[in-house]
Structure 1
Amino acid sequence: MKHLLLSLLAASSLCAADHVVYEPAGAAKGKHIVLLSGDEEYRSEESMPMLGKILSQRHGFKCTVLFSLGTDGTIDPTAGGSLSHPEALDSADAIVMLLRFRHWDEATTRKFEAAVKRGVPIVALRTSTHAFAGYAKGSPFESWNWNKDGGWGRKVLGETWVSHWGKHKVEATKGIIEAANANHPVLRGVSDLFGNTDVYEAAPPADAVVLVRGQVLQGMTVDTAPASYTKPTAAKVEQDVNTPMMPVAWVRVVKNDAGSENKILATTMGAATDLTNEGLRRMVVNGVFWGLGLEVPEKADVSIVGEYQPTMYGFGGFQKGLKPEGFELKK
C-alpha cells in the first residue's frame, strides 16, 4: 500500500510538472483562465505566469499556464510543436495567449480549436496575430498558417503579421487612447500606456473597435518625443508614421465556424517588458472580465504578485533551464 501511495504521488507530481496552476485567492469567480505561452522573442514564458498570478490572487480566477517544452522538460520557446498539458483547454472559460509560429500536433490543436468553437473569449498579445505557422500542406489546419491569407490571426483576431512600423529595438510605443471609444469597459481605469517594443503595422477589419493607437517614439523611453518620418504601408501608401497612428489594441466579436461567438481583445503590445506598465496589465485584466461578461472593476488591482523582472526581448535570449515549477506561487 505504501509503495502504491508513493507511486501515485510521484505520478501526480509528474503530471503537474509541465504546467502551473494558480488556485484563486479570496472570493472565487468560478471561472478557469488558461494562459498560453509560446514565442521565441517576447518572453511569454515569463509574462503569462505573472498575469496568471494577478488574475488568480487579485481577482479570484483559477488560472493554468501552459508552456512550450524541450525534450528535457525545461521551457523552450523555440519548440514550436510543443504545448504542455493541452487538456487544460477542455475546461477553459477564457484564453489569454502570446504565441508565435506554433505548429502543434493534431490532438493538441483540436483541443484549442474546440475551445474556440465553444465561444471562449480570447485576449491575444503581440505576436499572437501570427500565432501559427508550419502546418503541412493537406493538414486540416493548413489554413491557420499566418502566410495563408493571414491565417488564424487575421480570421479570428482581425490581423496577421504585416511589418515593424516603428524601428525595432530603437523606437518604443506610447499608447494613445482612441477618444471616441474611451468609455469602453476594457479601458476602465487605463492610462499612461507605454511599451518598449515598437509599433506593428496593423489594419483590423471594419467590425473592430479600435481602443488604442500607437505613437511611435524617437527612442526607447517614455519621455522621448514622437517620431516624424514617412514610410510606405503594406498597401504602398506613403504616410507619416504617426499620421494616422496605427491601431495597437482593438476589440471585436466574431462568429466562429461552429456558429458561436468569440469576444476578442487583441493588442500588438504585450512583450514581457511591456507588461511592467500598469496600464497595459489593467487593459489585459479588463479584457478577461469583459470577455467573460463580468462587470469590469472601476480600477482593477493589477499589482504584481511576488517578483517580476522580465528578460529583455530578442531571439535566442530566453533563460535556459527554467521549468514550469519555478513559476509556482511562493508559500
Structure 2
Amino acid sequence: MAGRLPLDRPPRRAYDCAMLNTAFRCGLGIALTVLICASASAAPAKPPTIVLVSGEFEYKSAETLPVLRKQLEAKLGAKCVYLARPADPKAQTIAGLEALDTADLAIIFIRRMTLPEEQLAHFKKFAASGKPSIGLRTASHAFENWKEWDRDVLGGNYQNHHNNKLATTVRVVPEAAGHPILKGVAKEFASPGSLYRNSPLPSGSKVLLMGSVEGKPAEPVAWTHDYQGTPVFYTSLGHPEEFGTEAFDRLLLNAVQWALAQPVRKTEAAGAAEPVGFRRVGVADFDKLWREKRYTVLDVRTADEFKDGHIPGAVNLDVLDDSFEKKVAALDKSKTYLVHCAAGRRSATAAAEMKKLGFKSVVDLAPGFNGWKAAGKPVEK
C-alpha cells in the first residue's frame, strides 16, 4: 500500500536508533577488549621460580650455588629455591625435591648419586614436563641409577677428564658467536678446572664453547640441547674458582635468561672490573690488562727463555731459581701482578707461592707465553 513501510521493516527512526545502539555496543566491546588486553600486558610478570640443587662435594657447590641464587634473585628478580644433599658423603638423598614440581627452571649440580626412586621421579617428571634445565659440571654424571640422563636430557657424552695439572683454555666456537648465551662472554678465557672429555656429542647438541689443553684434542665445554622440545643448557665448567669471574657469571646469567625464553639483557656480572684475588685468564683478558699499563708483568721463565723473547715491559723472576721467594717477597703485595711462564704450569706454581706470601691480586696467563705469541701479541727481545 502506498505510503506504508513493508511489514518486515521497522520505521526508519526506530531502525536508525537500533543500528546506532548496535554500533555503540560493538564499539564499547572493542574498547573494553583493548583496555583489558592493555591492562593484562601492563601487569607485572610473575617472577620465575628457579630450583638450584646441590648434590656433590668435590667442587663445593654447597658454597657456590647459594651465591648464584643471590645473583639470580638480585639481577633477574627470580624466586629461587635452594636444595642440598646432606653433609654426610654417604647420604643418598635430597630433601624438598617436590619443589621441582612447580619450578620454571632447574639448575643441577649433582655428582654420582643413587637417589631413592621416589626422589629421582621428581627429576624425571621435571625433565618430561617441558620446562628447561641447566646442568653444571658434574651434572653429566649426576645419577648412578639414571645413566641415560647425560645423553638423553643433557645431550652429553661424559668420558672422564684430562689431567688436573693441564691448563684449560676456553674459546667461543666462531659459528656460535651470535648465540644469546654468549652475549658479552669473552671470546677466550682460562678455566681452573680439568677439561672434561665429552666428544663426540649426540648430533642434536649445539656446541657454544670448546676447551683445549696442551697436546690433546679440543673438547666441547658448553652446549645447548633439545630434549623432547625443551631447551637444555649444559657446561662442564663450574670449578669453584670460576664462580665470580666475568666470563663464567655472564655465561650463567645469559643461559638462565635464554632457558626461560627471556630476552638476554645486559646485566652486570659478579666479576669485578678490577683484577682482585687470584685468577687464571686467557690471552684476550691478559692482553686487556697489559694494555692498561698499570700492572707489573712477571715472567717466571728462565733467563734464557726471557732473552729469546718476552712480553714488552715484563720483569723476569725465574720461579725455579732458589732466590725466587726472596725476590718476589720484596715486591709490594698490595699491587696487582700479571704472571706468566711458557705454558701455564710454572706460573700456577708462582701464583700459589705469591698467595702464600700474602699477595692480594695475581692474574695468571693460562696459555702462557706460547699462547700469547701464537695469538700474535707483541713480543720483544
Q: Same fold (TM over 0.5)?
A: yes
Q: What's 2:197 paired with?
A: 201
Distance 2:157 2:139 in 1: 8
Look up the equivalent residue of 1:155 and give its one-letter code: D
Distance 1:32 1:193 in 2: 31
Look up the equivalent residue of 1:274 and give its one-letter code: E
Distance 1:64 1:101 in 2: 22
Unpaired runs of 5+ residues, structure 1, are: 1-26, 70-74, 136-143, 146-150, 217-226, 230-240, 256-260, 311-331
CA drift of 1:252 comes to 1.4
Q: What's 1:264 paired with?
A: 232
1:54-73 equivalence runs, <5 A: 54-69=71-86
Distance 2:157 2:226 in 1: 17
Unpaired runs of 5+ residues, structure 2, are: 1-43, 279-381
Q: What's 2:115 paired with?
A: 104
Q: What's 1:117 paired with?
A: 128
Q: 1:294 aligns with which of 262, 266, 274?
A: 262
Say whether residues 1:157 and 2:157 are aligned partners.
Answer: no
Look up the equivalent residue of 1:130 and give its one-letter code: H
Q: What's 2:318 paired with?
A: none
Distance 1:304 1:178 in 2: 22
SS of equivalent residue, structure 1 residue 303 = coil
Say whether residues 1:247 and 2:220 are aligned partners.
Answer: yes
Distance 2:222 2:240 in 1: 16
CA drift of 1:98 comes to 1.0
Q: In the TM superposition, what whole-angstrom CA distance separates every residue of 1:99-136 from its partner, at most 9, and x where no partner exists?
A: 11112212211122211111111111111111111x3x
Q: In the TM superposition, what whole-angstrom CA distance separates every residue of 1:149-175 from its partner, at most 9, and x where no partner exists?
A: xx211111122430213x12x123221
SS of equivalent residue, structure 1 residue 213 = strand
Q: Is the 8 Å Cα contact of residues 194 and 274 (structure 1) preserved in structure 2?
A: no
Distance 1:34 1:120 in 2: 12
Q: What's 1:186 paired with?
A: 181
Shift of the 61–29 alpha-carbon distance from structure 1 to 2, 3 Å rule, reads farther
Distance 1:212 1:304 in 2: 19
Say whether residues 1:35 and 2:35 are aligned partners.
Answer: no
User: What TM-score results when the alignment is normalised by the length of structure 2?
Assistant: 0.57
* Percent of aligned pairs with the same amino acid: 31
Look up the equivalent residue of 1:194 and give its one-letter code: A
Q: What's 2:208 paired with?
A: 211
User: What TM-score results when the alignment is normalised by the length of structure 1?
Assistant: 0.65
RMSD of aligned C-alpha atoms?
A: 2.2
CA drift of 1:29 comes to 5.2
Q: Is the 8 Å Cα contact of residues 50 and 79 (structure 2) preserved in structure 1?
A: yes
**Number of matched pairs:** 230
Q: What's 1:223 paired with?
A: none
Q: In the TM superposition, what whole-angstrom CA distance separates every residue of 1:257-290 from its partner, at most 9, and x where no partner exists?
A: xxxx221111111122222322111111111111
CA drift of 1:197 comes to 0.5
Say whether residues 1:173 and 2:168 are aligned partners.
Answer: yes
SS of equivalent residue, structure 1 residue 300 = coil
CA drift of 1:302 comes to 2.2
Q: Is the 8 Å Cα contact of residues 245 and 270 (structure 2) preserved in structure 1?
A: no
Distance 1:63 1:52 in 2: 6
- Name the structure with the higher helix share: 2
Distance 1:100 1:80 in 2: 12
Q: 1:48 aligns with which of 36, 61, 65?
A: 65
Q: In the TM superposition, what whole-angstrom CA distance separates every residue of 1:17-56 from its partner, at most 9, and x where no partner exists?
A: xxxxxxxxxx875100000101131111111111111000
